[in-house]
Amino acid sequence: MTEYPSRRDPKKVITAAAVVVVIIIAAAAAIMFNPFQQRTLTVYTYGSFMDWGDNNDTDFFGPFEEKYGVDVVIDRRADDANTLVAILEAESANPIADVVIGIDNILILEEAAKSVLAPYTPINLSLIDDSIVSALDPEHYVVPFDFGLVTIIYSMADMNTTTHPELANLTFADLARPAMARALVTEDPYLSSPGLAFLLTEIAVHEKLLGTDWTDWWSDVKNDIDIQPGWSEAWARWYTDPTKHMMVSYGTDPAYSAYYTQTEPDVGTAPIYYNGEHYAWMQVEGMGLVKNGPNPELAKLFIEYCLSPAVQMYVALNQWMFPANMNVELDSAFDYALKPDEVILLNELLNQTEIAENLASWKSEWNDIIRG
């Protein structure tokens, strides 16, 4: 028995391990549940909110924090705005958030979205163009934070208006040709807001301009078009796969490219063309008061503040959308962006009532075509 290794008492080992674990958890709890915190205003938003540039939350909201002696927590709570609404709904018995930013002009049509919000008309809404306010929500459950145009972009390294003259006046018929359809990446309309905007673009153009059945185009391209779950995946595919030249994205992409490469942009926009005019869908992203939120008065002041130039001046370069407040001056890179006055907005053809009535069946018809 002399070679038998010495043993520690198992009870001691278990106790020691348990003590260590308890101390770690207690320490973490003590750090996280700090009772001496300043009063906070909680803002729920989606993952990429104002995170595209060189500025940070302190630049945007620091002045508000100082003025009102409050800690503003920008909680990028979910990947997408639909999940944000589901979370607000789950928390509705005991809301944590005061303000939510990111509910757009389609999501607000869902009953679920309105059920977690309280309508509020800020004084600073006078700074915003009426057409944008009513394109988002005439009832003001949400008011505009920013807006952007969803359009097809193309990589200039792969194609341009000389090699592909149709890019200058692109139609869905052009895109239905197999060579073009195979080069196009779009996003899933169930899971991605630009993907949904593209579906609505396609529906509006066919039903309202061409007067044809919208489902035919999807039947034509369904074996060639590349549909990715979200914008990030679509961009990764577009960038990585040398056979993909076009993508459904935002009209500000050329501006982004010009700003970061400090040269002429390597990305072009190709809005849909019909009868002498170009068309695009406008996405308006809104912010609203969370119903029964903990600090309603402060939340109202925050929404006023977000509409003011103090925040709006940062929108262009940190969000790569157009600021809702149009008095704000844009960086010169935005000269390359597709601008609202260059196109007719498809939102004017397809009104919100019609969308609200048909959205669920459109999506499910789309699903039947693609996976049928």
Partner 1 sequence: MRNGSTATYVIMALPLLLLMGFLVYPVLGVLILGLVVGPGSSFQEVMSSQVTHATLWFTFLQAAASTILAVVLGLPGAFLLARLEFKGKQAVRAAVILPFILPPIVVVVGFLRMFGSYGFVDSVAMALTGSTESVVNFAAGVPGIVLAHAFYNIPLVILLVSAALERLDPDIEDTAELLGASSIQSLRRIVLPHIMPSLLSAAILTFLFCFMSFPIVLALGQGRYMTLEVLIYYAFSSFDFGMTSSIAVIQILILMALAIAYTAAIRSDKRDAGQTSFIKTIPITELSAPGLLTGILYALLIGVIVVGPMIAVIDSAVFDPVTGQYTLKGFLHLLEVEGGLLPLTNSLFYATLATLFSVVMGIPLAYSLRSRSGLLSNSTSVMILLPLGVSSITIAYGLLRLIAVPTGWAANPWPLIIIAQTLIGVPFTARAIENSLRGIDPSLLEQADSLGANRLQKLFFVELPLLAPGILVGAAFAFAMAIGEMSATLFLKREQNVTLAVAIYENLGVRKFVEAGAASLLLLVVCFIAFLVIQRASESAFKGAI
When asked if residue 257 is in the footprint of partner 1 (CB under 8 A), the reply is yes
**Which is nearer to partner 1, 131 or 232 (by Cβ)?**
232
Which range binds partner 1 by CB under 8 A, 168-176, 202-210, 236-244, 342-350?
236-244
Residues in region 310-369 near partner 1 by CB under 8 A: 360, 363, 367-368
**Which is nearer to partner 1, 212 or 261 (by Cβ)?**
261
Which range binds partner 1 by CB under 8 A, 224-232, 278-286, 298-306, 331-339?
224-232
Residues in region 118-157 near partner 1 by CB under 8 A: none
When asked if residue 91 is in the footprint of partner 1 (CB under 8 A), the reply is yes
Q: Shortest distance, CB of residue 276 to partner 1, whole angstroms?
A: 33
Q: For the chain, how far is it from start to end, CA to CA, in angstroms?
A: 73
- Choosing from 82, 124, 155, 201, the residue that interacts with partner 1 (CB under 8 A) is 82
When asked if residue 93 is in the footprint of partner 1 (CB under 8 A), the reply is yes
Beta strands in 79-116 (DSSP E): 99-104
- Gap between the Cα atoms of 56 and 2, Å rounded: 66
Residue 315 near residue 50, CB atoms below 8 Å: yes
- Gap between the Cα atoms of 354 and 106, Å rounded: 11
Query: CA separation (Å) from 122 to 30, 42, 104, 141?
Result: 39, 19, 18, 11
Beta strands in the chain (DSSP E): 40-46, 71-78, 99-104, 117-118, 143-155, 184-187, 226-228, 246-250, 267-270, 272-274, 277-290, 322-323, 344-345
Residues in region 5-64 near partner 1 by CB under 8 A: 5, 7, 10-11, 13, 21, 24-25, 28, 32-33, 47-48, 51-52
Residue 121 near residue 134, CB atoms below 8 Å: no
- Gap between the Cα atoms of 326 and 236, Å rounded: 32
Q: How far is CA 350 from the centre of its chain?
A: 20
Which range binds partner 1 by CB under 8 A, 134-142, 186-194, 201-209, 279-287?
186-194
Structural tokens at position 93? 């018995």
- Choosing from 104, 137, 146, 188, the residue that interacts with partner 1 (CB under 8 A) is 188
Q: Shortest distance, CB of residue 223 to partner 1, whole angstroms?
A: 8
Q: Shortest distance, CB of residue 67 to partner 1, whole angstroms?
A: 22
Which range binds partner 1 by CB under 8 A, 60-68, 147-155, 170-178, 235-243?
235-243
Q: How far is CA 51 from the centre of its chain?
A: 12
Neighbours of 26 (CB within 10 A): 10
- Gap between the Cα atoms of 170 and 245, Å rounded: 14
- Choosing from 41, 70, 85, 333, the residue that interacts with partner 1 (CB under 8 A) is 85
Which range binds partner 1 by CB under 8 A, 140-148, 219-227, 275-283, 326-334?
219-227
- Choosing from 55, 68, 73, 339, the residue that interacts with partner 1 (CB under 8 A) is 73
When asked if residue 231 is in the footprint of partner 1 (CB under 8 A), the reply is yes
> How, if at all, do strands 71-78 and 143-155 pair?
unpaired
- Choosing from 63, 65, 68, 86, the residue that interacts with partner 1 (CB under 8 A) is 86
- Gap between the Cα atoms of 82 and 102, Å rounded: 9
- Gap between the Cα atoms of 19 and 11, Å rounded: 12
Please count the residues of this chain forming the interface with partner 1, following the rule CB under 8 A.
Answer: 67
Per the DSSP assignment, residues forming a β-bridge with 45 are: 76, 101
Residues lying near partner 1 in the complex (CB under 8 A) are found at: 5, 7, 10-11, 13, 21, 24-25, 28, 32-33, 47-48, 51-52, 73-80, 82-83, 85-87, 90-91, 93-94, 96, 110-112, 188, 190-191, 222-223, 225-229, 231-233, 235-237, 239-243, 256-257, 260-261, 360, 363, 367-368, 370-371
